[in-house]
């Protein structure tokens, strides 16, 4: 999940969410040595694995979806919460056992956020892996693989960069439905929220040149893609300056939206402090910029927000929500919530519940606080909310939000939405699924419609997570 992180997530989920099952590089490509690549964590990791696939291909390596056929197993990992790391550790144990028992030539590598965080442990204390490569060092992968072959020693590159954006590397889209694609526009994060490991695992914030982003998007349009989600840990602080001319996120989104009227644009994920009026006006003025924002609040109490170092108060956040709704009527909002942060009192917890009730998000990703070593919270505060209390608070949050999501979806019944068809529904080939402009998954009878088509669908029913409907002809 990419959103905890997340074992790979479905598109539309936030970068902190775990997927239920890891994503596996799905393309079979020939090559002298074959690599099995499994991805955990957020959409950024999924997007990075497409870069990794491109680098490996260029370096003469093949890809396989069958781990048994692989000479090299690479896990692209997530460190956002402890349970994300535990999943990867179990997977490493599994491959280690294979190597020990019957496949001593197998090479095992850890990429991504855990590589950055646990380099010493993985290599020195636990002798778990043959290569360790951080998120800014993927160009070095072929060399590192050859090095470990030659020396029999572990090979490592966890250097973080202030410049690397992989702007010139064309990602290998190995697991695509041909309709929706991710495009990475910035890397790293400078926000230093007290609970978060990302600034440590992904380094300083840097933006990719606008020209290279626009070229990649234009190419996707030519290839028939209909939806692009631009990605970064904090996309709305995007800014790239070239020859004295500066492009910010609102301007970038505007330019992407001009590429084709048939292209929908989303982004993930954004920080409330950088959600400008100019950006809200792009949502309003450009019909193909989706009427949806993932706007993680994390908590409903100002003191907790301050301890989290989120830089806004409850009232400032609520004012932003009101502004978004007045500039973009009907805009759909989703959020991320952390339950049981250090020092959280019962009253503070109730403020999160009241904020959910006030904003009435369409969707939320909800997590129990998990202390991450090295973060400000780990160094300065005590993780003092007992596990049972965290669990109870999280379940109250989930129960309330599920009810609100259901009620919001019930309001949709009778309305007509334009759905971009992504493919057959999970349950039945006789049905198709796709998202509304507001990012709600919608299922309807297939008839003669196909993947990649925009279909007008009248909503006839719902669950808290899905709309059901029928095509309007």
Residues making contact with ligand SF4 (CB under 6 A): 189, 191-193, 196, 198-199, 233-234, 271
In the block, tokens 């993930």 appear at 268
- DSSP code at position 10: P
Q: DSSP H helical segments within 238-364, as ranges?
A: 249-257, 277-285, 302-307, 314-327, 346-359
Sole window of 77-85, 123-131, 325-333, 425-433 interacting with ligand F3S (rule: CB under 6 A): 77-85
User: Is residue 370 a contact residue for ligand SAH (CB under 6 A)?
Assistant: yes
Helices (H) and strands (E) in the chain, counts: 13, 22
Binding to ligand SAH by residue 64, rule CB under 6 A? no
- Report, in Å, the least distance between residue 3 CB and ligand SAH: 7
Which stretches of 103-243 are DSSP H helices?
113-120, 141-151, 198-202, 210-222
List the single partner that 81 binds among ligand SAH, ligand SF4, ligand F3S, none, CB under 5 to 8 Å by kind: ligand SAH
Question: Is residue 133 at the binding interface for ligand F3S, with CB under 6 A as the rule?
Answer: no
Our finding on whether 1 is near ligand SAH (CB under 6 A) is no
- Among ligand SF4, ligand F3S, ligand SAH, none, partner that 340 touches (CB below 5 to 8 angstroms by kind): none
Query: How wide is the angle at C-alpha 360 spanned by C-alphas 322 and 356, nearest 5°?
Result: 100
DSSP bridge pairs for 266: 229
Contacted by 367, from ligand F3S, ligand SF4, ligand SAH, none: CB < 5 to 8 Å by type: ligand SAH
| Euclidean distance between CA atoms 259 and 221, whole angstroms | 8
Least CB distance to ligand SF4 at residue 1 (A) = 16
Determine, following the binding rule CB under 6 A, whether residue 16 of this chain makes contact with ligand SAH: yes
Rule CB under 6 A: say whether 80 interacts with ligand F3S.
yes
Q: How far apart are CA 231 and CA 186, in angstroms?
A: 7
141 binds ligand F3S (CB under 6 A): no
367 binds ligand SAH (CB under 6 A): yes
Query: Contact 194/375 with Cβ under 8 angstroms?
Result: yes
- Among 54, 72, 113, 228, which residue interacts with ligand F3S (rule: CB under 6 A)? 113
Among 12, 15, 112, 434, binds ligand SAH (CB under 6 A): 15
* Neighbouring residues of 178: CB distance < 8 A, sequence distance ≥ 6: 223, 224, 225, 451, 452
Closer residue to ligand SAH (CB): 110 or 197: 197
């Amino acid at each position: 999940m990419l959103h905890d992180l997340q074992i790979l997530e479905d598109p539309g989920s936030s970068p902190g969410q775990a997927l239920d099952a890891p994503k596996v590089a799905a393309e079979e490509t020939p090559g002298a040595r074959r690599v099995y690549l499994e991805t955990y964590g957020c959409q950024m990791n999924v997007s990075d694995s497409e870069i990794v696939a491109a680098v490996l291909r260029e370096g003469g390596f093949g890809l396989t979806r069958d781990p048994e056929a692989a000479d090299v197993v690479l896990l692209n990992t997530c460190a956002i919460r402890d349970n994300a790391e535990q999943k990867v550790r179990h997977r490493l144990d599994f491959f280690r056992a294979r190597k020990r028992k019957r496949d001593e030539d197998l090479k095992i590598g850890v990429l991504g956020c855990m590589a950055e965080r646990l380099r010493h442990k993985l290599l020195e204390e636990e002798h778990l892996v043959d290569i360790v490569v951080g998120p800014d060092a993927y160009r070095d992968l072929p060399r590192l693989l050859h090095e470990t072959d030659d020396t029999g020693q572990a090979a490592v590159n966890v250097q973080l960069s202030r410049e690397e954006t992989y702007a010139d590397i064309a990602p290998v889209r190995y697991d695509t439905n041909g309709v929706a694609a991710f495009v990475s526009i910035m890397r790293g994060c400078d926000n230093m929220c007290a609970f978060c490991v990302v600034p440590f695992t992904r380094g300083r914030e840097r933006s990719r040149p606008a020209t290279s982003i626009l070229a990649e998007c234009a190419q996707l349009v030519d290839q028939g893609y209909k939806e692009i989600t631009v990605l970064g840990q904090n996309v709305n602080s995007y800014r790239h300056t070239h020859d004295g001319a500066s492009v910010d996120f609102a301007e970038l989104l505007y330019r992407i939206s001009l590429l084709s009227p048939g292209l929908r644009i989303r982004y993930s994920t954004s920080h409330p402090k950088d959600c400008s009026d100019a950006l809200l006006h792009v949502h309003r003025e450009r019909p193909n910029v989706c009427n949806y924002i993932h706007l993680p609040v994390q908590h409903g109490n100002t003191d907790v927000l301050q301890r989290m170092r989120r830089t806004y108060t409850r009232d400032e956040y609520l004012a932003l929500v009101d502004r978004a709704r007045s500039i973009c009527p009907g805009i759909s909002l989703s959020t991320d919530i952390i339950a049981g942060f250090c020092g959280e009192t019962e009253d503070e917890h109730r403020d999160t519940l009241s904020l959910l009730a006030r904003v009435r998000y369409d969707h939320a990703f909800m997590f129990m606080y998990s202390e991450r070593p090295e973060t400000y919270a780990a160094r300065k505060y005590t993780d003092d909310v007992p596990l049972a209390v965290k669990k109870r608070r999280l379940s109250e949050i989930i129960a309330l939000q599920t009810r609100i999501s259901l009620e919001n979806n019930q309001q949709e019944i009778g309305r007509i939405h334009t759905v971009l068809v992504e493919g057959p529904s999970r349950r039945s080939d006789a049905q198709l699924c796709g998202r509304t402009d507001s990012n709600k998954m919608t299922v309807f009878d297939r008839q003669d419609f196909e993947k990649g088509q925009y279909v007008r669908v009248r909503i006839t029913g719902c669950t808290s997570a899905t709309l059901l409907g029928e095509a309007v002809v």
